Amino acid sequence: MRAYDVILKKRNGGKLSKDEIEFMVNGYVKGDIPDYQMAAFLMAIYFKHMDGEERAILTETMANSGDKVGLSSIPGIKIDKHSTGGVGDKTTLVVGPIVASLGVPVAKMSGRALGHTGGTIDKLESIPGFRTTLSEEEFFKNVREIGIAVVGQTANLVPADKKIYALRDATATVDEVSLIAASIMSKKLAGGADGYVLDVKVGSGAFMKTIEDATELADAMVGIARAHGKRAVAVLTNMDVPLGKMVGNSLEVLEALETLKGNGPEDFTELCLNLSAWMCHLAGKGTFEECLKLAKESLDNGAALNKFRQFVEYQGGNPDVVERPYDVLPMTSNVTEFKTEMEGYITSIDTEKIGIASNHLGAGRKTKEDTIDYSVGIEIVSKVGDYVRPGDTIAKMYVSQKSEIEEAKELLKESYVISQEKPLERPIILKVVK
């Protein structure tokens, strides 16, 4: 078999066999197939696409390229949650404890921040002492004893994806549905869960800008899961506004805690309850409606909050963060208010620019080597639909000496659109793909 022939076949719109896909992926990982041929192969996929069967094979081949996590020794049905990335997306910090408190094991690997989206691992590490690197023994022990553990991805998890993604990034082949779906789902398959709830973000702060594109990606990912005998549901959610009000690591932990105490923002609370309910439903705990009721009870009776405290303690963090978050979390006291000069309704917020602005303050990374400042970020005081007047504070910037305040301020200025017409309300949950 020659790489040339496989590239030619896909370039001409042919359907690739299992042997051909495995030959290309495994050959590239081993170094037998050079970058220029793999780049041509990716570009052929970009223009000619893949069908459901090809996607499933590509995903499996990538998942088999490195370490795989075996969760079969953990009792119960394990359901993982994945978000395609958004601004202010701290759902794992609330959903994980809710679901674990209801008897569904959460054995999760999460990522770090890069670009304008935040990373769950960085948020958890803003809690003093919290360890996201656990031995395999510790990881399984925590899940067995308290029902939850969240760690960073292992170095050798899906090496094919790391290598192929770097090439996609350099060859303008990132935004193709088959390649996006295989990249996400290969890591999910390697993670060993029995099913997945996929939170597919849609809008200005998301990778998928339209509901049509997001639906296509959701269909592809659910299809891949089903092809491998896994349960799956995709929830399309609104990322035309930041999720909740806080953007930044310690700030988002603070908001997650408020939500676990029943005082969270309405949009964020609704999303967390819905994602929790779908996870419990896939785990066999009842209908979606029954599971939604269970999730609400877990928040109301304090079970989820107690589970979060346990979770923090088991992973080495300071459990006092639950009762005294302002004393425990690293938070700057230097707050700059951002005021509007206009009067009217906030009709839209460019969420991606909010995320980039928080990066300018130090809350995220521009490159993988950057160091994050846990103490900084942005609070969205006024959201879409709010009526504001000149001089009103519509956002707050939590800053440090290293923060690029003027750059962040300029992005905030560009983010808000204010007009005299009240915008239509857009729900947080746009669509469910099963």
Residues tagged active-site? 82, 161, 168, 183, 187
User: What are the DSSP calls for 22-63, one per residue?
Assistant: HHHHHHHHHTSS-HHHHHHHHHHHHHH---HHHHHHHHHHHH
DSSP bridge pairs for 106 = 148
Residue from 294, 288, 254, 298 nearest 97 by CA: 298
| Alpha-carbon gap, residue 58 to 61, rounded angstroms | 5
Buried b (16+ CB within 10 A) or exposed e, 50-71: beeebbbbbbbbbbbbbebbeb
| Alpha-carbon gap, residue 280 to 277, rounded angstroms | 5
Q: What does each C-alpha distance from 338 to 14, 223, 243 come to in angstroms? A: 55, 45, 19
| Alpha-carbon gap, residue 94 to 273, rounded angstroms | 9
Residue type present at position 430: L
Please measure the distance between the N-terminal and C-terminal CA atoms of the chain and give it in whole angstroms: 38
| Alpha-carbon gap, residue 62 to 160, rounded angstroms | 5
The neighbour count for residue 434, using CB atoms within 10 Å, is 12
| Alpha-carbon gap, residue 233 to 197, rounded angstroms | 5
| Alpha-carbon gap, residue 187 to 80, rounded angstroms | 11
In 209-289, DSSP assigns E strands to 231-238, 246-247
